[in-house]
Amino acid sequence: MYCSAECRLAAAEQYHQVLCPGPSQDDPLHPLNKLQEAWRSVHYPPETASIMLMARMVATVKQAKDKDRWIRLFSQFCNKMANEEEEIVHKLLGDKFKGQLELLRRLFTEALYEEALSQWFTPDGFRSLFALVGTNGQGIGTSSLSQWVHACDALELKPQDREQLDAFIDQLYKDIEAATGEFLNCEGSGLFVLQSCCNHSCVPNAETSFPENNFLLHVTALEDIKPGEEICISYLDCCQRERSRHSRHKILRENYLFVCSCPKCLAEADEPNVTSEEEEDEEEEEGEPEDAELGDEMTDV
């Protein structure tokens, strides 16, 4: 499904001729369908954005007249060392990630092998490609629920009404997660060259958004930025940024494999390594009896 005829044409010209299954769209034995089904079975939440983003990268090169141009473009994205790549893949696929990664590599090769990208189809190359998407992938657009919440935030309400509305929204998200698992607040995944160059700060001077609710990403200054000053965004959401330094570092280490040294973290360096109240609540939940029904959760990095 495309937002317009122009969008559909652009997709066809860039990658869709390779990825279109044609009359085999509903055939479970079609190589692309087998790949997507395997991804759903090993990844939580059960979405296909990440694996199909990798597929689109390959399809774009396969379909391009100037293959070297696209290969150079993809090489601009941040890469990790081998041990860091394994950590990212582990985060995406879980404890049995090595076997699952090999299964995905074989299916990926069967569906999309391209000689110009032969290095991506080796075990090491496929792991690197996986880590590249895991590190640089950006959720695209926002859900209709997010649009509604954003509109609610803009309402001018009395303090009591605002408190009641915020409590309702918080409970709504909790109810959704209880019923469906972690809520995916986006409509896809993409790679953006300039956005991926922005480092993290717990006190960012810019933010990314999709105000038109399509694939166009906007980077907007939150304050005056002087010439030569680094543009920083936050890899944490608003709630996470309000947590303790210890909690913020834990999230960033687990998901992005670095220790933040932004002005806020440096200013709080002498504070005790205590977890935020929110994290203490999470740890209490993790400490429930062993027979409690706890689902394995994993989030995209």
Number of domains forming the structure of the chain? 1
Q: What is the model's pLDDT at position 154?
A: 82
Helix (H, G, I), strand (E, B) or coil at 54: helix
pLDDT of residue 264: 95
Q: What is the pLDDT of residue 145?
A: 75
Q: Are 241 and 234 in contact (CB under 8 A)?
A: yes
What is the predicted pLDDT for the residue at 300?
A: 33
Q: Which domain holds residue 83?
A: 5-137
| Cβ-contact 126, 101 below 8 angstroms | yes
Residue 81: the pLDDT is 60
Tens of pLDDT, residues 225-259: 999 999 999 998 888 888 999 999 988 887 777 88
Sign of torsion, CA 144 146 149 154?
negative
* Residue ranges of the chain whose pLDDT lies below 70: 1-4, 43-49, 78-85, 88-97, 141-144, 180-187, 213, 274-301
What's residue 93's pLDDT? 64
Domain annotation covers residue 266: no
Residue 253 lies inside a defined structural domain of this protein: no
Instruction: Give a yes or no: residue 96 inside a domain.
Output: yes
> In the chain, what's the furthest Cα-to-Cα distance?
63
Q: Is residue 204 a part of any domain in this protein? A: no
Within-domain flag for 75: yes
Asked whether residue 42 is assigned to any structural domain, the reply reads: yes
In this prediction, residue 150 carries a pLDDT of 75
Residue 192 lies in a domain: no
Q: Provide the whole-model pTM.
A: 0.68
Q: How far apart are CA 22 and CA 168, in angstroms?
A: 45
30 belongs to a structural domain = yes
